[in-house]
């Protein structure tokens, strides 16, 4: 397989897009380390799934906004899985509100998880990647980081930051044969979206030219491709997986 024997860290992997990414990477041969914040039951289920595919799994309880925890996860991954080749910065939260009502806590939490979290884990793995002269980093952004979204100034700002962060890292790390890219999903059929108001889903469907929500695995397929050697000459790019929602 394309990723046989490689080791990937996937943040926020116990459900939704993150889970689909972890499973698709494993199906391509990678061993998976992942973090989770609360749902230990989902973390155990994911480990069982990955091990059932013949891959190694390492689940670590950690908040991505914690800089020291990111350093520790990179160290544990190296110690227990023996190497480190791929980082997927997927973990994210949203806490919506119009800007004139948004609280400091709403702003800070989304920025800390969605943007600072990507920095924390990138900072943790890049010394390893530089030393070995290889590595793949894929950051999960959003089309709302490209266009802005009513009621999501914090989320749009964080994801726009992830896009800028991706491009700057690609420039800094390219000389070490490290590829850094971003994937920007549109509205994807996850548990979070399933609980969204009906009018939100209907409005999104009106924007999507393919007239359906995306599936988590459809994002995962693109992420996995970017982690293979087939994508070795792609870096600094933002690839939209949105069914034409943002054209």
Beta bridge partners of 185: 241
Of 86, 16, 12, which is closest to residue 55 (Cα–Cα)?
A: 86
Compute the Cα dihedral for 76, 80, 82, 83 and give only its sign: negative
CA pair distance 242, 186, nearest whole angstrom: 4
- Contact criterion met (CB below 8 Å) for 35 and 59: yes
Active site residue 246: no
Radius of gyration of the chain from its Cα atoms, rounded to whole angstroms: 17
Beta bridge partners of 10: 34, 88
Of 59, 80, 67, which is closest to residue 12 (Cα–Cα)?
A: 59
CA pair distance 184, 145, nearest whole angstrom: 8
Of 155, 176, 221, 246, which is the active-site residue?
155
End-to-end CA distance of the chain: 34
CB atoms within 10 A of CB 117: 27
The backbone torsions φ and ψ at residue 8, rounded to the nearest 5 degrees and listed phi first, read -120, 140
CA pair distance 134, 28, nearest whole angstrom: 18
- Contact criterion met (CB below 8 Å) for 231 and 177: no
Which residues are identified as catalytic?
155
């Amino acid at each position: 397989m394309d990723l046989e024997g490689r080791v990937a860290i996937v943040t926020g992997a116990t459900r939704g897009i993150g889970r689909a990414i972890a499973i698709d990477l494993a199906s391509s041969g990678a061993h998976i380390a992942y973090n989770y914040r609360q749902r230990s039951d989902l973390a155990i289920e994911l480990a069982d799934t990955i091990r059932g595919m013949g891959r190694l799994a390492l689940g670590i309880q950690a908040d991505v906004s914690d800089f020291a925890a990111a350093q520790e996860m990179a160290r544990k991954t190296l110690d227990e899985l023996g190497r480190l080749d791929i980082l997927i910065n997927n973990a994210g939260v949203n806490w919506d509100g119009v800007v004139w009502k948004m609280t400091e806590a709403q702003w800070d939490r989304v920025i800390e998880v969605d943007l600072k979290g990507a920095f924390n884990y990138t900072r943790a793995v890049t010394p390893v990647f530089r030393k070995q002269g290889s590595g793949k980093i894929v950051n999960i952004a959003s089309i709302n980081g490209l266009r802005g979204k009513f009621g999501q100034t914090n989320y749009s700002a964080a994801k726009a930051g992830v896009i800028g962060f991706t491009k700057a890292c690609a420039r800094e790390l390219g000389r070490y044969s490290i590829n850094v890219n971003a994937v920007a999903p549109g509205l994807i059929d996850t548990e979070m979206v399933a609980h969204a108001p009906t009018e939100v889903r209907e409005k999104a469907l009106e924007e999507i030219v393919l007239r359906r929500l995306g599936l988590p695995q459809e994002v995962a397929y693109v992420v996995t491709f970017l982690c293979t050697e087939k994508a070795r000459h792609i870096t600094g790019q933002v690839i939209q997986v949105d069914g034409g929602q943002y054209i």
